[in-house]
Amino acid sequence: MNPALPLKTLLASTFLAGAVACSPAADEEPYRAVADVQELMFHVVEPAAQTYWGAVGWILDEEGEHYLRPESEEEWIAVENAAFMVAESGNLLMMAERALDDDAWITMSRSLVDVGERALRAAEEMDEQGVFDLGAEMYQVCSNCHARYSPEILRPSDERSVDEAATADGPMGRATGHGQTGAGGQAGRDAGAGTGGP
């Protein structure tokens, strides 16, 4: 008697059972969204973007203008972390549970992956000007998607914003609130992002 035979038979039947058990669920994805789009924005994308935007640039406080840049290895790693989060969030936005359509939404989410990845490279190279410039590009990707899918959260200075943006209780009030919860430098950079630069 060949002792290997029962094992082979067992493997074959396990494989078949597995194939049968899997086939009805074949079109179901194993992942499961925990955050909806708004929560992903509020808890992941926005804090990461704020960290990135706050990393390099000029801030104005009572003592005058200061140039901000990451000062240590850890601070540069924090900028990389932020860029990774922004880039990977683009992938999370493409998940079927979050995608609002399978056309422009996907294109814009891909743009977030792309700009996030380039933002990451600039941080890895400790390229201060690159981080500043990619922060501006990143801001454009954010606001392009908001212009299309959530115009009420655009800054009032954005010509594509809608009137509800002026109401304090609207999403715009909350969105600007997030900016101001960061360090002074981040809020300053953020304010600059809304008017002059990005």
Cβ atoms of 141 and 41 closer than 8 Å: no
Q: Which of residues 10-49 bind ligand HEC (CB under 6 A)?
A: 37-38, 41-42, 45-46, 49
Distances (CA, A) of 17 to 4, 22, 23, 97, 147: 20, 8, 10, 30, 50
- CA-nearest of 44, 37, 20 to 153 is 37
Q: Considering only residues 54, 57, 171, 182, which one is a binding residue for ligand HEC as defined by CB under 6 A?
A: 171
Select 76 or 111, whichever has its Cβ closest to ligand HEC. Answer: 111
Q: Considering only residues 55, 56, 59, 86, which one is a binding residue for ligand HEC as defined by CB under 6 A?
A: 86
| DSSP assigned state of 166 | G
User: Under 8 Å CB-to-CB from 19, ≥6 apart: which residues?
Assistant: none
The yes or no reply on residue 146 touching ligand HEC (CB under 6 A) is: yes
The whole-angstrom separation of Cα 81 and Cα 84 is 5
Structure tokens at 142: 């954010």
Q: For ligand HEC, how many residues bind (rule: CB under 6 A)?
A: 25
Select 45 or 134, whichever has its Cβ closest to ligand HEC. Answer: 45
CB of 18 to ligand HEC, least distance (A): 37
Select 4 or 122, whichever has its Cβ closest to ligand HEC. Answer: 122
Identify the bridge partners of residue 67 per DSSP, sorted by sequence position: 58
The yes or no reply on residue 79 touching ligand HEC (CB under 6 A) is: no
The yes or no reply on residue 150 touching ligand HEC (CB under 6 A) is: yes
One-letter identity of residue 59: I
Structure tokens at 121: 């490279």
Interacting residues toward ligand HEC by CB under 6 A:
37-38, 41-42, 45-46, 49, 86, 93, 105, 108-109, 112, 138, 141-142, 145-146, 149-150, 153, 171, 174-175, 178
